[in-house]
Amino acid sequence: MGFPVNRPRRLRRNETMRRLVRENHLRVEDLVYPLFVTQGQGFRKEIESMPGVAQLSVGLAVEEAQKAAELGIPAVILFGIPAYKDETGSSAWAEDEAVQRAVREIKKTVPQLLVITDVCLCEYTSHGHCGLLQGQEVANDPTLELLARTALSHARAGADIVAPSDMMDGRVAAIRTMLDHHGYQDVAIMSYAVKYASAYYGPFREVAESAPQFGDRKAYQMDPANSREALKEVALDLEEGADIVMVKPALAYMDIIRQVKDAVVVPVAAYNVSGEYAMIKAAARLGWIDEKRIVLETMLGFKRAGADIILTYHALDVAKWLKEGY
């Protein structure tokens, strides 16, 4: 009887051996922690569909940012729930709105922590769409000025990175031009370059109060059936000055993460979105899965696909598990 000469199992015999030959590694430095900030003091509104996620007043958001920094997480990304909404989303660039205040307070309290700000109008418009309306269509070019104005207000507050998520054509160039013109050449742009019109965003729209009041976002977010188009979007954003490009969602789009990673020489981010988070939390609550193992395996999947940066609501838990040694 012949025996195999090549035995892959030799390198799987124990944990020390597996660690020695491991191809991909998940690090706390890979993580970005999303926070949802709103007005008020001592205000916390838990989100039923996203256990562990809440709308937070600025002071509580600063405390969460401190927790992230203490665990070694390098960055947070801020989303705002404004005091008022109108047709143009004018509260998005108001200097005293929650995001701008939170940026200032976090940078004052935890200066070493990178602060990223989401740049979009959907949370701020009364109609819930990501730009100005002409009839029932989102007008691309008139929206660019408002996005750039919003990004500038974030930079003035102290943001390290602005992250446009609206999917308007030309918005990276508009933001880069606005920032540079006002002396913020060092503020980086992390573009939601590949953002699909996905059903995985449902719980986010609850916490961000950003559901469109009519229609959907398929006319400006990407068709889930397309992959080559993703590379076109990435190339355009890089030409316009993006420093980091993002794929969103992550779990059902690992093939896109890999294609983007192979095509570019800038950092690639993946957003582990609300629906992905909610599914794991729900199944874990019912005892159907081992939450820790599933989450860590999912994060490693994003890394294996090519993500350099992972935006995830699991960030605090992942950071704790990594410190414990998984």
Q: Would you please indicate which residues are annotated as catalytic (active-site) residues?
A: 195, 248
Tokens representing residue 143 in the block: 């929206």
Q: Would you state the torsion angle of the CA atoms of residues 162, 167, 173, 176, taken in this order, to the nearest 10 degrees? A: -10
Q: Which helix (H) or strand (E) holds 203?
A: helix 202-207
CB 89 within 8 A of CB 139: no
Contact partners, residue 6, CB within 8 Å, separation at least 6: none
Coil, strand or helix at 193: strand
Write out the two tokens for 175.
């933001």
Reduced to 3 states (helix: H, G, I; strand: E, B; else coil), residue 195 is strand
Q: What is d(CA 280, CA 267) in angstroms, rounded to the nearest whole number?
A: 27
Counted residue by residue, the chain has a size of 326
User: Cα–Cα distance between 170 and 241 in angstroms, integer?
Assistant: 10
Give the integer Cα–Cα distance in Å for 124 and 129: 9
What's the rounded Cα separation, in Å, for the pair 236 and 161?
19
Check if the beta carbon of residue 245 is closer than 8 Å to that of residue 191: yes
Structure tokens at 104: 């200032």
What residues form DSSP beta bridges with 44? 56
228 C-beta neighbours (distance < 10 Å), count: 7
